[in-house]
Amino acid sequence: MEFHLEDVIISLINIVVLFILLRLILWKHVIRFLSERTKRVRDEKDDIEKSRLEAEALHVEYNEKLNTLEEQGSEIIRKSREKADKESENILKETREKANQIITDAEARIEEEKDIALEEIQVDVTQLATEMAARILKREVSQEDNSNVVNEFFKD
């Protein structure tokens, strides 16, 4: 293979002319494409950063709301417990009052029944005493005599 200087020079001239033509024709388009691409990448990067900052702000806001809701929940539970304790105390108080009333009523009924029983016993004793006295005396004793004997007996 031979080396011809003329071929090399023509090739070099072709390369230079092709470079100049390509630079004149395509250079503006390539530069514009690259600058638009750079701008797009920068804008996307800015959008991503903005989205990240918004996400962080939302995360902080979410945590604040969550803490607030937890505090409100704790407050609601505390108030509910207090209310339940008060209601429990009221129910116990009412139950004790009802129990005391029932006991008082029962004691009053016992007293009444005791008085009635004593009166019945007194009547029975009076009748028995009258019958015994009648048998002893062999005569009928009046109700007034009977009452006097019984009253004297119970006074003693």
Q: Break the chain into its structural domains and give their ranges.
A: 5-114
| Region of poorest pLDDT, from 27-31, 122-126, 148-152 | 148-152
Predicted structure pTM score: 0.43
User: 57 vs 125, which has greater pLDDT?
Assistant: 57
Please count the other Cβ atoms lying within 10 Å of the Cβ belonging to residue 146: 17
Tell me if 140 sits within 8 A of 134, measured CB to CB.
Answer: yes
C-alpha dihedral over 11, 12, 14, 19, to 10 degrees? 140
By the 10 Å C-beta count (0-12 exposed, 13-18 middle, 19+ buried), 129 is classed as middle
Write out pLDDT tens, residues 13-56. Answer: 999 999 899 888 888 888 899 999 999 999 999 999 999 999 99
